[in-house]
Amino acid sequence: MKLDLYAVYSIWLREMIRFFRLRSRMVGSLGAPFFFLAFLGIGFGSAGSSVSAIPGIPEGINYISYLTPGIIGMTLLFSSTFAGLSVLWDREFGFLKEIMVAPVSRIAIVLGRTAGGVTTAIMQSMIILISGLAMGMKLPSIEGFLLSFVFMVLIAATFIGMGLAFASKMTDMSGFSLIMNFLIFPLFFISGAIYPIERFPQEARVLVYIDPLTYGVDGLRYSLIGPGANTLPILLDLGVLALICILMLGLGTYLFEASEVE
């Protein structure tokens, strides 16, 4: 068990070193969320600061405050999903083969990658949160801020599991990127990250409620804005997201353990 824990730490540390060395990765992954926050927030925010200006947003909440948790969810989604790309990169250059023949369990490898992906995703999310605060968002309480970390971890781990599952069955990095882009943009837009889910047509609500990010963004709004900003009960958000997180990580781990490295 000690060896496995050391392996988890070593893989996590490698992900941290890689993250800080590849500054272009951080800039690239933060570019789209930052511009969404800045231009949508400023554009819609200039129309007014209350519900009367932006239909569907609870009264007394300005659009920057409403949008920031959604963009944090976007950052977590983008960063976590593409963590699977590092698996394909390691497979391409032989590192994955070396680590998988080492005397450590594959579960330890998955845990290390997940821990590294979650850490880097949350670090990037903090940059978006600070940007939102600079634009006028206000945190309701320390407790809400701490609860938001729970939702960030669950969102990141969920989509890391999804990315790992796809990466375990693929060998082409460009194909992986295309499939992820095909998935993550619909997941983002139907999650209610940009506008309230009440504004979706009734026929589209099924898609909204099967999107894991919906529950994550709703939980972040409760945590970072306060009660009343969320649409669904907070315990439902937490329970559904935790269940999906376990299922996704389980699927990713299973497919990774079953994968073969040539």
pLDDT band at 5 (very low <50, low <70, confident <90, very high): confident
Higher-confidence residue: 133 or 246? 246
With residue 202 as reference, give the H or E element that holds it: none
Interval 127-176: pLDDT, tens: 889 888 888 888 888 899 999 999 999 999 999 999 888 888 877 777 77
Domain count, the chain: 1
Under DSSP, the state recorded for 27 is H
pLDDT band at 88 (very low <50, low <70, confident <90, very high): confident
Contact 219, 235 (CB under 8 A): no
Under DSSP, the state recorded for 88 is H
- Least confident piece of the model among 75-84, 165-174, 237-246: 165-174
Domain that holds residue 31: 2-258
- Least confident piece of the model among 76-80, 177-181, 248-252: 177-181
Contact 120, 154 (CB under 8 A): no
pTM of the model: 0.88
Nearest-5° Cα angle at 214, 210 to 42: 145
Interval 193-238: pLDDT, tens: 888 888 888 877 888 999 999 999 999 999 999 888 888 999 999 9
Report the distance separating Cα 11 and Cα 110, nearest Å: 9
**Amino acid at position 74, single letter:** M
Q: Give the mean pLDDT of 98-125.
A: 82
